[in-house]
Amino acid sequence: MNKKIDALLKNFGTQKVSVIHNSVRESPKIVAFVTVANTLSTEDKLTKAFMLTNSIEDGWWNNKEITKMFDGDSCRSTMVGDMVLIGTEKFRCESSGWSKVS
């Protein structure tokens, strides 16, 4: 098959959400794009983005659903205060769940 069709089929039914790390010492920055299924609820997309950007047995950037957007060899895991952008809606990670950022 041709490369354009292969790329379209590979991404059919998915979307990329942005994971933004927030720090008091630096401006917020996108550290990853996470590929999620379009059919997931917003809550499930947020949960998946959080889960896939946390290191357990290996660096989270090695997950196949991740497009690494940070410089260097490593990056901290996503935590409270960080954000996820889904389309045009931004959500902040709270100690329990997520809050929409206006």
DSSP-derived secondary structure letter, 8: H
pLDDT interval class at 17 (50, 70, 90)? very high
pTM, whole model, 2 decimals?
A: 0.86
For residue 22, count other CB atoms closer than 10 A to its CB: 16
Decide if 29 contacts 10 (C-beta within 8 A). Answer: no
End-to-end CA distance of the chain: 44
Decide if 1 contacts 70 (C-beta within 8 A). Answer: no
pLDDT tens, position by position, 48-64:
999 999 999 999 999 99
Res. 10: pLDDT tops 90:
no
Token duo for residue 42: 């917003």
- What is the rounded CA–CA span in Å between residue 67 and residue 80? 21
pLDDT tens, position by position, 27-43:
999 999 999 999 999 99
From residue 54, give the alpha-carbon distance in Å to each of 26, 32, 84. Answer: 20, 12, 14
What local confidence, expressed as pLDDT, does residue 13 receive?
87
pLDDT interval class at 6 (50, 70, 90)? low
